[in-house]
Structure 1
Amino acid sequence: MEIINQSKNQVTYTADEAYKESLVYFKGDDLAARVWVNKYALKDSYGSIFEKNPDDMHRRIASEVASIEQRYANPLSEDEIFELIKDFKYIIPQGSPMTGIGNPYQIASLSNCFVIGNDGDSDSYGGIMKIDQEQVQLMKRRGGVGHDLSHIRPKGSPVKNSALTSTGIVPFMERFSNSTREVAQDGRRGALMLSVAIKHPDSEDFIDAKMEQGKVTGANVSVRIDDAFMKAVEAGKTYQQQYPIESANPLYKKDIDPSVLWKKIVHNAWRSAEPGILFWDTIIRESVPDCYADLGYKTVSTNPCGEIPLCPYDSCRLLAINLFSYVDQPFTAKASFNWELFKKHIHAAQRIMDDIIDLELEKIDAILQKITDDPEDEELKRTEKNLWLNIQTKANEGRRTGIGITAEGDMLAAMGLRYGSDEGSEFAIEIHKIIAIEAYRASVNMAKERGAFSIFDAEREKNNPFILRLKEADAKLYYEMLEHGRRNIALLTIAPTGTTSLMSQTSSGIEPVFLPVYKRRRKVNPNDKEVRVDFVDEVGDSWEEYVVFHHRFKQWMEVNGKDLTKNYTQKELDELVALSPYYKATSNDVDYLKKVKMQGAIQKWIDHSISVTINMPADVTEEVVGELYMEAWKSGCKGVTVYRDGSRSGVLIANTENKPEAEDENTTLDFPTTRPTVLEADVVRFQNSKDKWIAFIGLIEGKPYEIFTGFADDEDGILIPRWVNDGVIIKNRDADGGSRYDFQYKNKRGHKTTIEGLSYKFNPEYWNYAKLISSTLRHGMAIEKVVDLINSLQLDEAINTWKNGVARALKRYVPDGTEAKKQQCQNCNSTNLHYQEGCLTCKDCGSSKCG
């Protein structure tokens, strides 16, 4: 564990102090304040917080970036940089840069995205294990990782080892997925993208892997689809799969009916939002870095969200420009876009991005020094050291950047343009064209002052479609680039902005607004003179309804003289939205074919890619999903992901009464009717009063299927090492033919240790209740409902302790965001509760209870 001592003289704040200061900063926005304190405030390994609000963070970042600016001509000052990034108004470093710049308390990368791979496409066990270790080493430094599996030989291929034939791709998908789940990143799991070419003979198994029980739960998966496959689907012709996929003389090949595979891709995406699709020939054809493929810049996969296609060992740092802030007099008839300021800030953003590469190189130096200083044997450190040396080379040589945007939806609304309309799309395309031209111009200007990226070669790039598009749009820029080169090999992206948009209080990334207005209720005391009672429920409790407005919708109301204090009826709210530029422009309103065409047109001005989700209603057909994919390919998209409302549990679901029963997110339809012989298992320890307990939770697809609990570390219980957190539960038979459940785990030498007969170790009464609870789990009852059932059991005091522990253990598996029914907050009495990381969290006051 890496712990860096804090300065004794530095001012520190409690979490509550930082939260209160941030709440003022965000003008009462509780969610934004909590996100900033939890994810981005500077803190050490002991939990000490060194920043009271985002102003402190932005000053930290500005100081570090300014120190790099001083190395070059015409430097930006610290105050100039601070003015650009403060208040999340104009330029917003994303995720890893925001957390890591100027952070002395962690040795971590500033890169958001990495791709790894083997030279020579090795599929030996040694090569696969090397990738596995590299993935883990990157994730522990906070990076999201992607890699491609097309180099692994297909199932049944001859191999020269004791197995005689290859196992194919899927077992290695599971290996990499499991490694991701093992690596915690500041309280969250690692992010992984696995891809494979449709041309690979195992691509069908790859597509199905996440649909099977318990497989690949720790990775996003995408299929690399080539033009030949799409044309074959369209024309109804055969398609050849082969291995190796790029060989002129493959070892293995077969002709398939591509429509069968196509329908499977569409069905799985319709059902579960995966796999995503990468239109690989479009990616490679448009890629500027692939002009240098023979020098190590051949694109092989993407980062987990798909917006940065990369070659092995390259990385990228991300930054977003807040488009809303360039609208003058927003939401009025005089609204206009400040093009002059916008262009000026694009140049500044590209400079800051290039400065962050220098800061990243300093971070890599610190990581390499940490590896050198570690007392481990040099042989054990070799893979990690070589990994970072390779990343250092790519960062220094190519100097790749990732300028993107946020608030596209709000920007269009502020201009009086409806998202998805022809006029809105045309304006959005012009925005991204200007970003491309001015960012490239900034990179050329930096090449004059700082030097071009070291392998720049105009001759290599002369036929690249993206470069030719720039030439047509701005010939002067193109010829200056021929003369001076460019500072960065590739520059642009559109990433999801998630928590960034929460703090900028805008719509996210390129997406439209999710909802401009919605209602909440909070429980009130009817005798309080200061409250308004809007609703009395069936048990007589009184409730006040209040409206929550999207920040920019509220700004539209203010500008247009709408009453923010009024208690609107639903009909009045609907009428209010209908008057606004957000009408028919939310995520579920926008015509998905128009959105994908807009994405394709914008993609022409993005040299990397775009992370965007096409939202579709629950009742959309698979045929329509297929049509959308086909249109995405024809429109020039590099990738596409669809989300059908209700198709994935744990995701915010629209309020609708028409959800198909078979797709109810609270029902697990694919649990086996017969218990498998072996189940993956988590070990959960908990303490109630003075009693120590242990739970063994059998899992299928990462969801609880059975649970056994009892006393831990006790003469009457189970003695198991504290470091054991997982293993397998095996159903066996005793000599008399009765069932027995054994728990098996690997010790620190990798040898298997088995604890026989969990049923013999626990109190029989506990065991019988555990069987009852396991039965409800196996029949697909939602976890939160199982927890409610457990809590409702009327048991004597002795077994109540056990009951509370079981409920606590199972809460860990409730999907984040799940609403908690018939419970109220102990702090404010609201019933607006949901589960977050197993804890009941109040959306109104923010209090959390994990017991």
Structure 2
Amino acid sequence: MPVQEKAAASKSFSQQEAFEASVKYFNGDDLAARVWVNKYALKDSDGNIYEETPNDMHHRIAKEIARVEKKYENPMSEEEVFDLIKNFKYIVPQGSPMAGIGNPYQVGSLSNCFVIGNDGNSDSYGGIMKIDQEQVQLMKRRGGVGHDLSHIRPKGSAVKNSALTSTGIVPFMERYSNSTREVAQDGRRGALMLSVSINHPDVEDFIDAKMEQGKVTGANVSVRIDDEFMKAVRNNTNYTQKYPVFSNNPKFSKDIQADKLWKKIVHNAWKSAEPGILFWDTVINESVPDCYADLGYKTVSTNPCGEIPLCPYDSCRLLAINLYSYVDKPFTENASFNFDLFKNHVGKAQRIMDDIIDLELEKIDNILAKIDADPEDEVVKRVEKELWLNIRTKAYEGRRTGIGITAEGDMLAGLGIKYGSEQGIDFSTDIHKKLALAAYRSSVDTAKERGAFSIFDSEREKNNPFILRLKDADEKLYYDMLEYGRRNIALLTIAPTGTTSLMTQTTSGIEPVFLPVYKRRRKVNPNDKDARIDFVDEVGDSWEEYVVFHHRFKEWMRANGHDTDKNYSQEEIDKLVKKSPYYQATSNDVDWMSKVKMQGAVQKWVDHSISVTINLPNNVDEELVGRLYLEAWEAGCKGVTVYRDGSRSGVLISNEEKKEDKADQKAGSFPLKRPQTLLADVVRFQNNKDKWIAFIGLVDDKPYEIFTGFADDEEGIMIPRWVNEGYIIKNRDENGQSRYDFQYENKRGYKTTIEGLSHKFNPEFWNYAKLISSTLRHGMSIDKVVDLINSLQLDNESINTWKNGVVRALKRFIADGTVASKEKCSNCNSTSLIYQEGCLTCKDCGSSKCG
């Protein structure tokens, strides 16, 4: 019988009450408060909030952990657990554990991530649809999901159905992606990882799928690359693809030029930050769970951000250690790292993680009870029930945990060590080595009291490289593990900590600081006559911009006698940053090869994997991306993500005015001949009482042309308000004259075309628009185009109003001090987005998404 959840506290708080109390808790940090209230405060389905501040949440979690502890010897008390997790200072349960532990209002899992799939031999429609259904069932319980597509037969293969030949991988990528987009998770969208082996004949189609606008938008994609392929790339030799993949008796095989496919991967990653790379032989050879592959623990894919490789139906719960909290006297000459306290807390964190597995098993029992109680037919419920029974078996047998870290960048800065330096790499590697030894020691000690995970077999693990490194570092630990076993099959990861780091008020995960100083925007109340207005968006909302100091940068300022309340000029800010340990140690400053080297060194002490992003400036060439990938493989990384500035929209930029790349300004950066079809943004705005609409044709996400005029009247264009994108198509009318049509897809999936934009707008508007479009097409930077439009001397009042509208429509593409992006946060509509650890995180509301 399932364990019943305890009743929650009856007192409730309004959203505003919880927010105001939490702002005080976070010492005035309204972003941290908003994240906590929106994502983690205990609430029911009616929106009633039952926790006023994170203090209440930490008591809730501590109470449940202590309840599990009482089942075993030498239990930790509720007070002891609370002291470890309070104030987000030392031990921080992440995501699902934070929201779900002790939550009676939600029938959900405590797992952050899952992998599903099959034995690699089933590619029937039934098997493929079963995975689709399992994916949806997991996402509705708040989980991120990964699965591999290497089992699907390649395009053109014979099948015994009416199609006669297989459609290949890509249509199923789209199916799984669409399913992800359809599942809501308390205001956010689910996260999905799709992977495929480089050995699969359809891998090139897989790699290209996301390059087509609007395709596979609900998934991250990664290629599993084996050592043989990497050697073929390095030696410029051929590589054999097969189906079934790596089969000794394949039904189909072909030789390809490894270098040609490699360049395709590199180009797409340079252009769009995908596909990600998984060095699969390194993943498998280093994997401790794969010592039990024949017992169902063969790793097949990863979770959406790549930090947890998993076998089918296994899952993992995440917890982060706040590294900065172990720096004594930070930002002073006497700064030091408290290794004794750190190792003590890592041991207790591992014990808490094991307790959370017991809580997860209770949650799964509740899910199974809910399925049994549902009124649907048993046939309908069968897949969901079998799914959770499989997940329960894996959690019970393997007891996998996911201890990670956050604040690596702040830890190094607090110690006066430059991130990315040789000293920084050595110190970080030592930290993660000590973390691994302390966590494995705790798992062995817990096995003495509670028993080893049920399939533990030291003989199976004796040649595993990770286990052998533990043996070399601590022989007593190794021989104790032989005698007592280990409580958990695998223990460690370095996961993204986007929203977690907002609440710890530190740098994220293993990443360096993104920026020590940046700008944020605050919407101005229209009734506030004294407010300063720095920016007006396309819908007419006014915003004030203000400088934000990274929390630990402010701590450095205080430690070194700098006034944190002063209104600094940009020149003064630059001088401050130059004096600080954050100088030339931001994500855009750190030497790229150094970051790869650091990831490879740290990976040796992480039994799962690492989620990390290598940030590159916009003007780097594709060759550099290829060299970084090769270096990552040779350094022993299990995976790598490269992000080139501007290759995805939504990137926070510095407080300084963004300097234009001269290479982007020269004529010819756009196609000399206008493509027949262009992706287009639709922008609506209001000038005085007039409603306007703009159609902005895009090439590489940059404005290539713009046409705009009155909307919603007999002289203008009328399209539904929900239409915000479509295509501008260049056609010819019956007289052979050029015309521009706008096409969009309606809610029933049919295409609707508005013929002849030139006939819909005032001719004078149209002629000026053609002139402005010409300047865009010939490479003039957008800010210069805006200056040109503003300088036009026009007598016609309507034309002046139109001029203002064009400026407002184009300004959304200018690096304006906050963002160089047209992408907005799906939660709060802000454009203050930053790309780290494979995820976009909003700096205004804290919402994050992967992929």
Same topology, TM > 0.5: yes
Paired position in structure 1 for 2:232? 232
Change (3 A) 1:619 1:131: same
Give 1:509 deviation, angstroms: 0.4
Question: Quick check: 500-509 or 562-571, which moved more?
Answer: 562-571
Paired position in structure 2 for 1:255? 255
Q: Distance in 2 between matches of 1:817 and 1:20?
A: 33
What is the total number of aligned residue pairs between the two structures? 790
Q: Distance in 1 between matches of 2:569 and 2:125?
A: 64
Q: Distance in 1 between matches of 2:124 and 2:543?
A: 64
Give 1:588 deviation, angstroms: 1.0
Given residue 112 of structure 2, which amino acid in structure 1 is its aligned partner?
N
Paired position in structure 1 for 2:364? 364
Change (3 A) 1:191 1:765: same
Change (3 A) 1:180 1:700: farther
Change (3 A) 1:710 1:251: farther
Q: Distance in 2 between matches of 1:223 and 1:185?
A: 27
Given residue 212 of structure 1, which amino acid in structure 2 is its aligned partner?
E
Q: Distance in 1 between matches of 2:582 and 2:299?
A: 39
Q: Distance in 2 between matches of 1:235 and 1:742?
A: 48
Change (3 A) 1:596 1:8: closer
Q: Distance in 1 between matches of 2:142 and 2:454?
A: 28
> Per the alignment, in what secondary structure is the counterpart of residue 179 of structure 2?
helix
> Per the alignment, in what secondary structure is the counterpart of residue 566 of structure 1?
coil
Paired position in structure 2 for 1:556? 556
Q: Distance in 2 between matches of 1:9 and 1:769?
A: 66
8 A contact 1:546–1:567 mirrored in 2: no
State how 1:70-109 maps to structure 2 within 5 Å. Answer: 70-109=70-109
Q: Distance in 2 between matches of 1:524 and 1:839?
A: 15
> Per the alignment, in what secondary structure is the counterpart of residue 204 of structure 1?
helix
Ranges in structure 2 where 5+ consecutive residues have no aligned partner: 536-541, 684-694, 713-717, 784-788, 790-796, 833-841, 847-851
Does structure 1 residue 415 correspond to structure 2 residue 418?
A: no
Say what the alpha-carbon RMSD is for the aligned residues.
5.1
Given residue 837 of structure 1, which amino acid in structure 2 is its aligned partner?
S
> Per the alignment, in what secondary structure is the counterpart of residue 343 of structure 2?
helix
8 A contact 2:519–2:817 mirrored in 1: no
8 A contact 1:820–1:835 mirrored in 2: no
Paired position in structure 2 for 1:276? 276
8 A contact 2:154–2:200 mirrored in 1: yes
Paired position in structure 2 for 1:837? 826
Question: Quick check: 581-590 or 491-500, which moved more?
Answer: 581-590
Give 1:837 deviation, angstroms: 2.9
Q: Distance in 2 between matches of 1:185 and 1:817?
A: 32
Q: Distance in 2 between matches of 1:728 and 1:548?
A: 36
Q: Distance in 2 between matches of 1:430 and 1:485?
A: 25
> Per the alignment, in what secondary structure is the counterpart of residue 119 of structure 1?
coil
Given residue 570 of structure 1, which amino acid in structure 2 is its aligned partner?
Q
Paired position in structure 2 for 1:658? 660
Q: Distance in 2 between matches of 1:216 and 1:474?
A: 46
Paired position in structure 2 for 1:142? 142
Q: Distance in 1 between matches of 2:274 and 2:746?
A: 32
Does structure 1 residue 291 correspond to structure 2 residue 316?
A: no
Higher relative contact order (CA 8 A, sep 6+): 2
Paired position in structure 2 for 1:28? 28
Q: Distance in 2 between matches of 1:398 and 1:380?
A: 29
Q: Distance in 1 between matches of 2:646 and 2:274?
A: 13
- Cα-to-partner distance string for 1:321-340 (whole Å, 9 max, x where unaligned): 00011111111111111111
Paired position in structure 1 for 2:835? none
Identity %: 67
Question: Quick check: 569-578 or 35-44, which moved more?
Answer: 569-578
Q: Distance in 2 between matches of 1:325 and 1:375?
A: 50
Paired position in structure 2 for 1:41? 41
State how 1:23-422 maps to structure 2 within 5 Å. Answer: 23-422=23-422
8 A contact 2:658–2:817 mirrored in 1: no
Given residue 556 of structure 1, which amino acid in structure 2 is its aligned partner?
W
Q: Distance in 2 between matches of 1:164 and 1:468?
A: 51
Give 1:645 deviation, angstroms: 1.4
8 A contact 1:322–1:406 mirrored in 2: yes
8 A contact 1:62–1:81 mirrored in 2: yes
8 A contact 2:728–2:740 mirrored in 1: no
8 A contact 2:100–2:110 mirrored in 1: yes
8 A contact 2:42–2:99 mirrored in 1: yes
Q: Distance in 1 between matches of 2:15 and 2:673?
A: 42
Q: Distance in 2 between matches of 1:355 and 1:391?
A: 17
Give 1:571 deviation, angstroms: 3.0
Given residue 393 of structure 1, which amino acid in structure 2 is its aligned partner?
T
Change (3 A) 1:308 1:663: farther
Give 1:771 deviation, angstroms: 12
> Per the alignment, in what secondary structure is the counterpart of residue 121 of structure 1?
coil
Given residue 179 of structure 2, which amino acid in structure 1 is its aligned partner?
S
Q: Distance in 1 between matches of 2:824 and 2:131?
A: 35
- Cα-to-partner distance string for 1:410-448 (whole Å, 9 max, x where unaligned): 111111111111111111111000111110010011111
8 A contact 1:819–1:833 mirrored in 2: no
Change (3 A) 1:819 1:727: closer
8 A contact 1:816–1:836 mirrored in 2: no
State how 1:757-836 maps to structure 2 within 5 Å. Answer: 835-836=824-825
Q: Distance in 2 between matches of 1:706 and 1:256?
A: 46
Give 1:225 deviation, angstroms: 0.6
Given residue 826 of structure 2, which amino acid in structure 1 is its aligned partner?
E
Paired position in structure 1 for 2:689? none
State how 1:674-689 maps to structure 2 within 5 Å. Answer: 674=676
Q: Distance in 1 between matches of 2:673 and 2:173?
A: 21
Does structure 1 residue 644 correspond to structure 2 residue 644?
A: yes
Q: Distance in 1 between matches of 2:147 and 2:196?
A: 9
State how 1:568-607 maps to structure 2 within 5 Å. Answer: 568-607=568-607
Give 1:72 deviation, angstroms: 0.7
> Per the alignment, in what secondary structure is the counterpart of residue 240 of structure 2?
strand
Given residue 279 of structure 1, which amino acid in structure 2 is its aligned partner?
F
Q: Distance in 2 between matches of 1:739 and 1:623?
A: 38
Q: Distance in 1 between matches of 2:80 and 2:364?
A: 27
Give 1:363 deviation, angstroms: 0.9
Ranges in structure 1 where 5+ consecutive residues have no aligned partner: 536-541, 685-695, 712-716, 790-795, 805-809, 822-831
- Cα-to-partner distance string for 1:323-378 (whole Å, 9 max, x where unaligned): 01111111111111111111110111001101111111111111111111111111
What TM-score, normalized by structure 1, do the two folds share?
0.81
Given residue 136 of structure 1, which amino acid in structure 2 is its aligned partner?
V
Q: Distance in 2 between matches of 1:23 and 1:489?
A: 40
Give 1:390 deviation, angstroms: 0.6
> Per the alignment, in what secondary structure is the counterpart of residue 298 of structure 2?
coil
Give 1:236 deviation, angstroms: 1.3
Q: Distance in 2 between matches of 1:59 and 1:412?
A: 31
> Per the alignment, in what secondary structure is the counterpart of residue 39 of structure 2?
helix
Given residue 498 of structure 2, which amino acid in structure 1 is its aligned partner?
G
> Per the alignment, in what secondary structure is the counterpart of residue 643 of structure 2?
strand
Give 1:651 deviation, angstroms: 2.7
Give 1:557 deviation, angstroms: 1.6
8 A contact 2:677–2:727 mirrored in 1: no
- Cα-to-partner distance string for 1:162-205 (whole Å, 9 max, x where unaligned): 11111111111111111111111111111010111111111111
Change (3 A) 1:598 1:523: closer
Q: Distance in 2 between matches of 1:460 and 1:336?
A: 40
Q: Distance in 2 between matches of 1:294 and 1:5?
A: 36
Q: Distance in 1 between matches of 2:351 and 2:5?
A: 33
Question: Quick check: 436-445 or 155-164, which moved more?
Answer: 155-164
Change (3 A) 1:706 1:205: farther
Paired position in structure 1 for 2:849? none
- Cα-to-partner distance string for 1:650-697 (whole Å, 9 max, x where unaligned): 232455323477699xx9999994459xx9999x9xxxxxxxxxxx99
Given residue 210 of structure 2, which amino acid in structure 1 is its aligned partner?
K
- Cα-to-partner distance string for 1:507-540 (whole Å, 9 max, x where unaligned): 1100011111246799999xx9x999999xxxxx
Q: Distance in 1 between matches of 2:106 and 2:670?
A: 41
> Per the alignment, in what secondary structure is the counterpart of residue 221 of structure 1?
strand
Paired position in structure 2 for 1:828? none
Paired position in structure 2 for 1:507? 507
Give 1:569 deviation, angstroms: 3.2
Change (3 A) 1:725 1:558: closer
Does structure 1 residue 485 correspond to structure 2 residue 474?
A: no
